[in-house]
Structure 1
Amino acid sequence: MAALQDDGRIGECAIFISRSLHFAWGRGNPAWDAAPEPEPTTASALVDEIGRRSVTQAQFVQPDPAGEIELPGGQRFTPSPAPTKWAHVRVVFDYNDAAGETVREVGLFFDTQVDPALPAGQRYFTPAQLINPGRLKVLERLPNKLIREAGVRQTFEYILPF
């Protein structure tokens, strides 16, 4: 049987990091509040997307027991100047992004295309401002819905293995 090689995984990670990356949030289904549904592996969109923001940071990382990037399970990573098979993706939403909205799911998209007529430097986009939503790489349904408050700068981080 053939085995995937680390060299190829590193290359895939490098290609991914170089793409147009956007982090989206959606209202989801209010029925999930009582009975959360597991994330499907066949989704290509969020349920009732609110908007999306250009990723703040995408970088190579490597496992490091003393690393400053910590996952909920306790595994730690540190940034790597050399390409690796792990990507750290971080997004920081602005205070007013989706203020007052109820968020039940989030997702990381690549190859999103936004309307070229939008102002240069715009980083938050509504679904109507997209020419092509791109492809959904990661989908997470939040165990507890999130009510967006204008006084909070919401941050999400993921380590993606390749």
Structure 2
Amino acid sequence: MAILTRVGRIELAKAVKAQSIYLAWGAGEPQWDSTPVTEQSTSTQLTQVLGYRKARRVLYCEPDVNGEIQVPEGGFTASSQATPHIYCEFNYDFTDALDKTIRELGLMVGTQPSSGEPAGKFYHAPSDIVDPGVLMLVEHRPAMYRDQGVRETFEFVLSF
């Protein structure tokens, strides 16, 4: 039986980390509030995208139960060396998707804003995106209403 080696996994992580990484969030479907939906590995996009936020930090990391990075899958420690694990942090602003309800998240790789978007802009409306990229991770969440007093932060670790 063939296996994907650690160095092969590191090369996959390097290829992903070299691209633009965004977190899309969407309204999903109101019926999900009473009937939760299961994520599908065949998903290619969110149901109702509201916006895209560029990753604030993208780091290599290694599993470590006592690490400073804590995600539902466990603890990790940041690494200066390439590893098969990539930590991504997304910090939404107070006004991003204000007065909207969020039910779905999608980690996108290779997202391209239109050329007319200002350099350094981190949040984009769907109409400002020319290529949404590839959906690497999808998560359905309990409904979360966006009000101006909250800045959402999401953290994920992609493991190859």
State whether TM-score is above 0.5. yes
Q: Distance in 2 between matches of 1:141 and 1:29?
A: 10
One-letter amino acid of the structure 2 residue matched with residue 148 of structure 1: R
> For residues 67-86 of structure 1, what are the alpha-carbon distances to aligned partners after superposition, in whole Å with 9 as ceiling and x for unaligned?
1111235x211100111111
* SS of residue matched to 1:19: coil
* Partner of residue 39, structure 1: 39
CA distance in 1, matches of 2:71, 2:137: 16
* 1:38 Cα deviation after fit: 0.1
Distance in 2 (alpha carbons) for counterparts of 1:80 and 1:120: 28
Q: In structure 1, what residue type is equivalent to 2:2? A: A
Q: Distance in 2 between matches of 1:19 and 1:91?
A: 15
Of the three residues 123, 146, 149, the one matched with 1:148 is 146
Determine helix, strand or coil for the equivalent of 2:9.
helix
Q: 1:2 maps to which residue?
A: 2
Amino acid at match of 1:70: Q
Aligned Cα RMSD in Å? Answer: 1.0
**Residue 108 in 1 paired to residue 124 in 2?**
no
In the superposition, the TM-score normalised over structure 2's length comes to 0.97
What is aligned with 2:49?
49
In the TM superposition, 1:2-151 aligns within 5 A as: 2-72=2-72, 75-142=74-141, 144-151=142-149
User: Number of matched residues?
Assistant: 160
Q: Per-residue deviation at 1:65?
A: 2.6
Unaligned runs of 5+ in 1: none
How far residue 95 of structure 1 moved from its aligned partner, in angstroms, is 0.9
Q: Please list every run of 5 or more consecutive structure 2 residues that lacks an aligned counterpart in the other structure.
A: none
TM-aligned CA deviation for residue 119 of structure 1:
1.6
CA displacement at 1:150 relative to structure 2: 1.0
2:138 and 2:112 mapped to 1: Cα distance? 19
In structure 2, what is the equivalent of residue 161 of structure 1? 159
TM-score scaled to structure 1, two decimals? Answer: 0.95
Identity of aligned residues (%): 36
Would you identify which runs of 4 or more consecutive aligned residues in structure 1 move more than 3 Å? none
CA distance in 2, matches of 1:44, 1:65: 32
User: How big is the shift at 1:151?
Assistant: 1.1
